[in-house]
C-alpha cells in the first residue's frame, strides 16, 4: 500500500487474494456512485446539489466519528483507496451520496412535501443500509468497539444504534436540505435556486446535519428512552420505525394526482436509480450465499489491542457517566464475527497494537443469514418499486407551478 496520511492505495489484487468479497463491495459502490451522479447531472438543478450535499454530509459524519473519542467506535477494512490516516475508505465516502440520494429522489416522487418526504426517505435509506450493515460486519468490511455501551445491543452483530443512526440522520439531512432551500428561495423542494443559494444549502446541510440530528432526533428518540428511561435499543428502533410508517401512511392516504401518473399512461421509471437499486440488493443477496467469511484475512486499523484492565470513563449525550474498555481484550471479547485463527500461533499479538490482523469466522447458521438478508432485500425492492415506479416523475429543475 502506498503510504500517505491523506491518501493511501492498496492493490486490488491483494484485496482479491485475502478479502475478495470486499472488492466486490467496492466495485458495486463505485458503480452505484457513478450512476447516481449521472442521474443528478442528467436531471440537473437541485439534483446535483442533493448529491454533493450528501457527499459533504458523509465526509463530516465520518471524520467527526474518527476524532471524537466518545463515538470513535468503528474501524473500516483497508480498501483500494484509503484517506485520513487509513480510516476513511473512498467507497464509504461515496456510499453516503448513494444511499441519501437514491432514497431522497425516490421519496420525492410521492410529492408529499418536505416533512413526509423526510421520513419516507428515512425508511428507504434504512432498509437499504441495514442489508449493507448485516453483510459488512459478518464479512469484516468494518468492525465495532467491543464494550462501548451505545453499541452493545446487537442484531446479527449490527448495533441497533447503527440502524437508529440511519433512521435519525437521514430525515434530518432531508429536512435541512429542503428546509434551507425553502427559507432562502420560497420555491418547491426540487426547483433550483441561484448558484449562491444552492451552495449555501449544500454547505449548511453538509455541515449541520450531524449536530442537528443528534439534538432533534437521536437524543429524544434514543438517549431519552434508552439511557434515561431504561428502554432497550431494540424497542427504540421499533418505535421509531412504527412512527415513521404512520407518518408516511397518513401523508400518502390523499396524495396528489401528480404522484400517480401511471393511472394516465406509461411511467418512464427504468432509469439509473432503478439500476442502482437492483445492483445494491442483488449484490448483497448474492454475497450472503456465496461469500466464505471463514476465509477472510483482514489486516489494518482495528480497535486497539491492549491490556484488559484499563477503562475509559466519559459522558454520553445526556450527561450520564458511562465507561468502556480502552483496548480490545484479546482473551475476553464478544465479537463473534472475528477471531485470530489465521495469524501465527492462532492468537492476538501481545502488547498494544492499532494495526493487526483479524480473521473471519464461519456462519453459525447460514440458512438464517440467507433468510434475513433476502427478506430485507425483498422488502427493499418492494418499497423502492412503489416509490420509483408507482409514484410521480422527477421534478423539472425550473418547472413553473400555478399559484393561488
Cα end-to-end span (Å), the chain: 62
| Residue 2 reports pLDDT greater than 90 | no
Measured between alpha carbons, how far is 111 from 260 in angstroms, rounded to an integer? 10
Collapsed DSSP state (helix, strand, coil) of residue 96? helix
Residue 360, beta-bridge partner list? 338
Per-residue confidence (pLDDT) for residue 262, from 0 to 100: 60
Alpha helices (H) in 186-321, listed in sequence order:
195-213, 233-252, 272-290
In tens, the pLDDT along 191-207 reads 888 999 999 999 999 99
* pTM of structure: 0.93
3-state secondary structure string, 158-209?
EEHHHHHHHHHHHHHHHHHHHHHHHHHHCCCCCCCCCHHHHHHHHHHHHHHH
Collapsed DSSP state (helix, strand, coil) of residue 44? coil
Per-residue confidence (pLDDT) for residue 254, from 0 to 100: 81
How confident is the model over 304-325, as a mean pLDDT? Answer: 95
In tens, the pLDDT along 8-29 reads 999 999 999 999 999 999 999 9
- Distance, C-alpha 300 to centroid of its chain: 21
As a whole number, the mean pLDDT across the chain is 93
Measured between alpha carbons, how far is 73 from 71 in angstroms, rounded to an integer? 5
| Residue 1 reports pLDDT greater than 60 | no
Residue 323, beta-bridge partner list? 313
Per-residue confidence (pLDDT) for residue 391, from 0 to 100: 83
Where exactly are the structural domains of the chain?
31-80+90-296+362-388
Measured between alpha carbons, how far is 364 from 352 in angstroms, rounded to an integer? 30
Confidence of residue 394 (pLDDT cuts 50, 70, 90): confident
Per-residue confidence (pLDDT) for residue 389, from 0 to 100: 87
Please, how many CA atoms are within 13 Å of residue 242, restricted to the half-sphere of its CB? 6
Per-residue confidence (pLDDT) for residue 264, from 0 to 100: 53
Cell of 289: 450465499
How confident is the model over 31-60, as a mean pLDDT? Answer: 96
In tens, the pLDDT along 358-377 reads 999 999 999 999 999 999 99
Per-residue confidence (pLDDT) for residue 399, from 0 to 100: 57
**258, burial (CB in 10 Å: exposed 0-12, middle 13-18, buried 19+):** middle
Cell of 72: 470513535
Among 100-104, 137-141, 337-341, 390-394, the minimum mean pLDDT is found in 390-394
Q: E strands within 74-124?
A: 74-76, 81-83, 88-89
Look at residues 38, 9, 47 and name the one whose alpha carbon lies nearest to residue 394: 47
Amino acid at each position: 500500500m502506498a503510504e500517505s496520511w491523506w491518501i493511501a492505495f492498496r492493490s486490488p489484487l491483494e484485496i482479491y487474494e485475502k478479502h475478495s468479497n470486499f472488492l466486490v463491495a467496492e466495485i458495486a459502490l463505485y458503480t452505484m456512485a457513478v450512476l447516481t451522479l449521472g442521474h443528478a447531472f442528467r436531471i440537473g438543478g437541485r439534483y446535483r446539489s442533493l448529491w454533493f450535499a450528501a457527499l459533504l454530509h458523509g465526509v463530516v459524519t465520518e471524520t467527526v466519528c474518527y476524532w471524537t473519542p466518545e463515538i470513535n467506535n468503528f474501524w473500516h477494512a483497508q480498501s483500494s483507496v484509503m484517506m485520513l490516516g487509513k480510516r476513511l475508505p473512498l467507497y464509504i465516502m461515496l456510499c453516503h451520496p448513494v444511499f441519501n440520494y437514491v432514497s431522497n429522489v425516490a421519496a420525492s416522487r410521492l410529492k408529499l412535501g418536505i416533512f413526509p418526504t423526510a421520513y419516507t426517505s428515512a425508511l428507504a435509506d434504512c432498509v437499504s443500509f441495514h442489508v449493507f450493515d448485516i453483510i459488512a460486519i459478518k464479512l469484516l468490511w468494518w468492525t465495532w468497539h467491543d464494550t462501548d455501551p451505545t453499541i452493545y445491543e446487537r442484531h446479527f452483530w449490527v448495533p441497533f444504534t447503527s440502524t437508529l443512526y440511519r433512521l435519525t440522520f437521514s430525515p434530518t439531512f432531508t429536512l435541512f436540505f429542503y428546509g434551507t432551500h425553502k427559507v432562502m428561495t420560497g420555491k418547491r423542494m426540487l426547483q433550483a435556486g441561484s448558484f449562491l443559494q444552492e451552495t449555501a444549502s449544500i454547505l449548511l446541510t453538509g455541515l449541520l446535519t450531524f449536530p442537528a440530528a443528534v439534538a432533534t432526533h437521536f437524543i429524544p428518540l434514543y438517549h431519552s428512552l434508552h439511557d434515561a428511561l431504561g428502554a432497550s435499543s431494540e424497542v427504540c428502533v421499533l418505535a421509531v420505525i412504527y412512527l415513521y410508517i404512520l407518518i408516511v401512511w397518513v401523508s400518502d392516504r390523499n396524495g396528489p394526482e401528480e404522484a400517480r401518473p401511471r393511472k394516465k399512461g406509461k411511467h418512464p421509471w427504468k432509469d439509473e436509480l432503478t439500476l442502482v437499486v437492483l445492483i445494491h440488493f442483488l449484490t448483497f443477496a448474492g454475497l450472503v450465499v456465496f461469500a466464505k467469511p471463514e476465509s477472510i484475512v483482514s489486516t489494518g486499523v482495528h480497535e486497539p489491542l491492549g491490556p484488559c484492565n484499563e477503562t475509559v470513563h466519559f459522558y454520553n449525550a445526556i450527561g450520564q457517566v458511562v465507561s468502556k474498555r480502552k483496548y480490545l481484550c484479546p482473551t475476553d471479547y464478544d465479537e463473534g464475527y472475528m477471531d485470530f485463527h489465521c495469524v501465527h500461533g492462532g492468537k492476538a499479538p501481545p502488547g498494544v497494537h492499532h494495526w493487526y490482523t483479524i480473521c473471519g469466522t464461519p456462519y453459525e447458521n447460514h440458512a438464517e443469514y440467507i433468510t434475513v438478508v433476502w427478506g430485507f432485500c425483498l422488502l427493499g425492492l418492494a418499497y423502492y418499486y412503489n416509490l420509483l415506479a408507482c409514484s410521480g416523475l422527477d421534478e423539472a429543475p425550473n418547472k413553473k407551478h400555478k399559484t393561488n
